[in-house]
Chains A and B, each alone.
Chain A
Amino acid sequence: MLLRRNTLKIRSSEITPEHVYLSRRRFMRLGALALGSAALTACGGQLGDTLAGRTAPAGTREPLPAPTGSAEIKRDEFGDPANSFETISTYNNYYEFTEDKEAVSRLAANFKAEPWTVTVGGLVNNPRTYDIDDLRRKFDQEERIYRLRCVEGWSMVIPWIGFPLHKLLKEVEPKAEARYVRFESLFDPQQYPNQRPPTFYPWPYTEGLRLDEAMHDLTLMVTGLYGKPLPNSNGAPLRLAVPWKYGFKSIKAIVKIELTAEQPKTLWNTMAPHEYGFYSNVNPQRPHPRWSQATERRIGEPGRRPTLMFNGYAEQVAGLYAGMDLQVNY
């Protein structure tokens, strides 16, 4: 135990990424109140760890030991470390189960993610129904480390496993008149307590993308996480990851994909159109009426960091929206 605090050796895993360091510095610059935070940090526990930038999974007594080699830490292209498997799979917005993010993983424990089929149809030449195993075999499964920015103002870095949606769409051959892709989640009140009446939401959950967004290489059909099958709480067995859009666009537990000519209705846009637009691209310049979109809290990090346009994917996706007023088309 004493050797753990060997000050001469600094593991590369202990070197703080620059912008974390900078945000922490901004945090600490603030004189007297910083002392209070320092005191809280010194008190330790979960809050102390968070303020010190030491992450620990929820629901465990001890913080996880830091991985010994930097190679083991997965990072996004900015060098930010991925959140732990525990954090990613136990802090979820999955309203079919509950609105309580902490309770989802427990309620989802017995969810039946196998067998599972997905129908792909609508305006396509080859409508098909795929078994989830077909999809896993047919398309190479690759790891993509994406940032996920929730519309609520928090974010994570997540090493998804999956395949780009365009591979699947090419197989079914969209017709010329297809302009949008509509996604539908499972409707099963037996399994989803929050779908049982009386329910407030127009289930099933639906989402949509413009066809060019759906064909973009970043748009991922997700089947796994950290090299393992996708946890139930994250939308097993098949979900979407559209990293430049707010998290709710990345629909979970997909059973149906449909190509349409008209812009499809989506659940949140139907419920509160002035709050959740069809596009819902991450945009720090467009405040949400009830919370900040200019900054975000990276889970496991102290303070807040600035939110990046298109969640940091502007270089890849800004072209999709050339000439569009994103204040209007939010």
Chain B
Amino acid sequence: MEVYLDNAATTKPRKEVIENMLKALENQYANPSSLHKKGVEVEKEIKKIRKTVAKALGCNDKEIIFTSSGTEANNLAIKGIADAYKRSGNHIITSKIEHKSVLNTFTELEEKGFEVTYLDVDSKGFISIDELKKSIKDNTILVSIMHVNNEVGSIQPIKEMSKVIKNINSKILFHVDGIQSFGKIKINLKDIQIDSFSISGHKIHGPKGIGALYIKKGTKINPLLSGGSQEMGIRSGTENVPGIYGLGEAVRLSTEEIDNNIENLKKLRDYFIDSFENEVEGGHITSEKSDVFAPHIINVAFPGVRSEIMLHSLEQDGIYVSSGSACSSKRKGFSHVLEAINMKDDLIDSSLRFSLSYINTKDEIDYAIEKAKEYYISLKRIIKR
């Protein structure tokens, strides 16, 4: 039995997605910039997909830029905005639990002379609105916050944050990394004052190698790449047509099914958390059955048994998950997120992330929990002694 519970790392592409990509590879292979009708055919299709993505986010299709990945979308937003607005100020804000594609972009900007504030989080992975308020200064130009944390699942109150930011200074730009939230939390950009929002294809059963960035109309953004001025000049490079086709289909399906999917995910998550708490004696669980946590990410720990050992044990039974710390017993392998929430070392060292998709079933969860429980008992016996 294969039970894939690493859906926050990536998801399995849906059949419809693959079929749509094949269409681009086999027939509609022309360059959308070409003048001939074969090119126009592709251009039209991309236009349609851009509308689909825009509709899913509640924005205008002119506000969507396709990128090569979520990472690129984050880089483009942060560097592009910082560069375009550097004359207005030098201070930028983010949090300590961002994905590396945001965090490392900020450190890069810091090295280039920007002043950066890295906001702390509480023990559950939430940024304090008060602290955000206090950190904003006269020369602040950008705030970048992730919507859903990829390791613990905490959902930041981005709507409240945007109000706070824009009330202090409406010129401050607000970027939201939505890669883990898109498709799992309903988002309507019409209701929130966000200036840019990144998504990724492969987290929603689409293909890898494609992402998209919403950029609010009127927002200046300097491109990272020079070239043929595709994507309204913001992202040069011939479009990844198969990727866009795949993304389009994934977004279409995800939008269509979102109510159902979220409900399913919540049920599965709650079921997982209940079973874990009931079955795994001595286990620790960080995520909660609550609406402030994403419905698909569950961070647990098996104190005393290193994450990797549990991970490899489970993989023998076809159960695939992620570990919170990378190999070795040395501290440098620790996850920056788990350190930021002040998790105790023995928990970080033994933490695993189970991440769900709506295609998972209760049976799969029963199986995973049963195996985890068995291994935890036997491994503890071996290791503790």
Q: Tell me, yes or no, whether A binds B.
A: no
CB within 8 Å of A: which residues of B? none
